[in-house]
Amino acid sequence: MSMNNQGRPTRPETDDMTNSETFTGNRALQIEEPLIFEGGDMDGTGVDLPKPKGSGNRLGGLERQSNINLPGLAEPEAMRHFVRLSQKNYAIDMGPFPLGSCTMKHNPRLNEKMARLPGFGDIHPLQPVSTVQGALELIDTLATWLKELTGMPAVAMSPKAGAHGELCGMMAIRAALEARGEADTRTRVLAPESAHGTNPATAAQCGFKVDSIPADASGRVDLDAFREKLGPDVAGIMVTNPNTCGLFERDIRAIADAVHEAGGYFYCDGANFNAITGKVRPGDLGIDAMHINLHKTFSTPHGGGGPGSGPTVLSEALAPFAPIPYVVSGKDGFELVEKRTQDEGQSFGRMTAFHGQMGMFVRALSYMLSHGGDGLRQAAEDAVLNANYVLARLKTEMTPAFEGTCMHEALFDDRFLADSGVDTLDFAKAMIDEGYHPMTMYFPLVVHGAMLIEPTESEAKQELDRFCDALLSLAKEAKAGKVGKFKAAPVHAPRRRLDETGAARKPVLRWTPPVSDAASLAAE
């Protein structure tokens, strides 16, 4: 009698059925779902609206004549469509999502409930300030927490995401250089090779030239190489800390001192602030600006790629250049500074139409109040503990990229796969079949075949043990030469590997009606 991996008996004759094709293409709970445009009723609608009166037309003769040609689904059809789609996604609520640098931690549902209070979710950014005092109080309270946790004197709340926060910080640096009359001469920004792609892209968007600093053998900024690159044309440096190798830049204060001595500013990428929240304040390390990803550190949901939120803390030197609008506490309550003329006029301007991601502010404050100062520190410690536990357990079969312990994420290279025929991508895809979302692959660029694992504080020890057991087993299988399994993976996911090259060569970016339908639509 054959056994499954839980030691329970299985009947061999049923095993033959597992690869059989079904009439529908469905596989039990995995149901194939067409696009809404394929079969949806082009004249239908799933909403009941009052009948128009047929009165009035002031549209200036610009009425839409063409058909919109989008189907409207009845509510049960729509519900079923999107629920079936949802079942093709992996999610944190289903299991570990160890994407290094992305911080996929638990998203508390209290946050969702709070953001939907009508007093937060149903207020307009341009209604009178006297009618939104509670909203301004919330923004001000969140700002106070962020300043306390970072040890910085000011925070710009409007950036919409991490990269937008970087833009905010670099714009403030540029404005400060302009105020010093040095914007034309200080045109170079230094960034380590291991930086997120957003760092060089942001610097370029601000008109700076980007100069890359190599990493040293320990995975940190090469201090000597960095010092050599300093000069009168340097606007500043962008450093992630803890860095993308999951290591704390132990020379950070020397870096800050050196860049300040050279007349530049220190932008710290705060993507990994979750590792040190409550443990150390970036303000005590000499930085000038840092964005905080509320969707990483403070548990607002990633939502399949956004929305994010990137409040940016600023030093005394940069604070006067912060973007409008911002909240101040006045004698009759909170006020909103919306125009440059209200302050000394040094603000670099406006980054977005309104006040930033209010919905994310509510969620983040809900998380902070729940955790408190003590809980936030414990969360950082648990995140670091979990990552080091994974590092310790996996290093028997996998190869850590650097010696020693790590911060909140464990970085491996692909040396353990050498000569196996299996590469990092194959290894990641095999994890999918085991029921896990893969780790971050091929990033940071400074490590060959990088695998960056960030478990976060949300994982229980038991869950980490199962995860490590699975990875150890895969590593052993790869070394044992089971290449075929890895090259074929995933085989149990809703889709096999997808042809990304083909997708880019001939991009199909929208649905178009089949030729026969198109002809009949045109004839209407």
**Nearest-angstrom CA–CA distance, 94 and 275:** 23
Our finding on whether 280 is near another protein (CB under 8 A) is yes
**Nearest-angstrom CA–CA distance, 233 and 254:** 20
In a 13 Å sphere around the CA of 523, the CA atoms on its Cβ side amount to: 6
CB of 103 to another protein, least distance (A): 10
Our finding on whether 245 is near another protein (CB under 8 A) is no
User: In b/e form, how buried is each residue of 382-418, taking b as 16+ CB within 10 angstroms?
Assistant: bbbebbbbbbebbeebbbbbbeeebbbbbbbbbebbe
Q: Which of 270, 278, 311, 444 contacts another protein by CB under 8 A? A: 278
CB of 502 to another protein, least distance (A): 5
Our finding on whether 524 is near another protein (CB under 8 A) is no
Closer to another protein at the Cβ: 3 or 47? 47
Q: Which of 231, 232, 306, 421 contacts another protein by CB under 8 A? A: 306
Cα–Cα separations (whole angstroms), residue 340 to 124, 314, 319: 22, 18, 14
- Structure tokens given for 218: 């320990």
Our finding on whether 481 is near another protein (CB under 8 A) is no
Our finding on whether 81 is near another protein (CB under 8 A) is yes
Closer to another protein at the Cβ: 162 or 270? 162
Which range touches another protein (CB under 8 A), out of 9-17, 43-51, 477-485, 515-523?
43-51
Which range touches another protein (CB under 8 A), out of 1-9, 10-18, 69-77, 259-267?
69-77
Q: Which of 57, 331, 516, 522 contacts another protein by CB under 8 A? A: 57
| Nearest Cα residue to 218 out of 446, 9, 389, 5 | 446
Q: Are strands 312-314 and 154-156 parallel, antiparallel or unpaired?
A: antiparallel
Our finding on whether 40 is near another protein (CB under 8 A) is yes
**Nearest-angstrom CA–CA distance, 415 and 402:** 12
Which range touches another protein (CB under 8 A), out of 124-132, 262-270, 475-483, 516-524?
124-132
Our finding on whether 202 is near another protein (CB under 8 A) is yes
Q: Which of 203, 235, 401, 453 contacts another protein by CB under 8 A? A: 203
Q: Which amino acid is at 429?
A: K
Contact by Cβ (8 Å): 346, 154: no
Q: Which of 15, 93, 228, 469 contacts another protein by CB under 8 A? A: 93
Which range touches another protein (CB under 8 A), out of 3-11, 75-83, 472-480, 515-523?
75-83
Our finding on whether 214 is near another protein (CB under 8 A) is no
- Structure tokens given for 14: 């049923």
Our finding on whether 469 is near another protein (CB under 8 A) is no
CB of 145 to another protein, least distance (A): 7
Our finding on whether 223 is near another protein (CB under 8 A) is no
Lay out the site mask for another protein across 361-400 (x = CB under 8 A, - = otherwise).
-x--xxx-xxxxxxxxxxx-xx-xxx-xx-xxx-------
**Nearest-angstrom CA–CA distance, 35 and 38:** 5
Torsion region of 15: left, alpha or beta (phi above 0 gives left; psi -120 to 50 gives alpha): alpha
Q: What DSSP designation does 59 have? A: S
Closer to another protein at the Cβ: 2 or 66? 66
**DSSP letters of 193-226?**
TTS-THHHHHHHHTT-EEEEE-B-TTSSB-HHHH
Q: Which of 4, 14, 341, 516 contacts another protein by CB under 8 A? A: 341
Q: Which of 16, 122, 403, 419 contacts another protein by CB under 8 A? A: 122
Which range touches another protein (CB under 8 A), out of 7-15, 87-95, 230-238, 472-480?
87-95
Closer to another protein at the Cβ: 116 or 476? 116
3-class secondary-structure state, position 445: coil
Q: Which of 4, 6, 19, 89 contacts another protein by CB under 8 A? A: 89
Angle between helices 424-433 and 461-479 (to 10 degrees): 130
CB of 437 to another protein, least distance (A): 6
Our finding on whether 19 is near another protein (CB under 8 A) is no
Which range touches another protein (CB under 8 A), out of 116-124, 229-237, 260-268, 475-483?
116-124
CB of 465 to another protein, least distance (A): 10
CB of 522 to another protein, least distance (A): 14
Our finding on whether 476 is near another protein (CB under 8 A) is no
- Structure tokens given for 190: 């230094």
Contact by Cβ (8 Å): 247, 220: yes
Our finding on whether 210 is near another protein (CB under 8 A) is yes
334: phi then psi, degrees, rounded to nearest 5: -85, 145
Our finding on whether 511 is near another protein (CB under 8 A) is yes
Q: Which of 194, 240, 299, 420 contacts another protein by CB under 8 A? A: 299
How many C-beta atoms surround the C-beta of residue 44 within 10 A?
11
Determine the size of the site formed for another protein (CB under 8 A): 209
Q: Which helix (H) or strand (E) holds 9?
A: strand 9-10
Contact by Cβ (8 Å): 168, 309: no
| Nearest Cα residue to 203 out of 245, 163, 243 | 163
- Structure tokens given for 394: 């996996």
CB of 364 to another protein, least distance (A): 11
Closer to another protein at the Cβ: 42 or 230? 42
How many C-beta atoms surround the C-beta of residue 136 within 10 A?
18
Radius of gyration of the chain (CA): 27
Our finding on whether 185 is near another protein (CB under 8 A) is no
Residue with tokens 């994010």: 308
Our finding on whether 135 is near another protein (CB under 8 A) is yes
Our finding on whether 296 is near another protein (CB under 8 A) is no
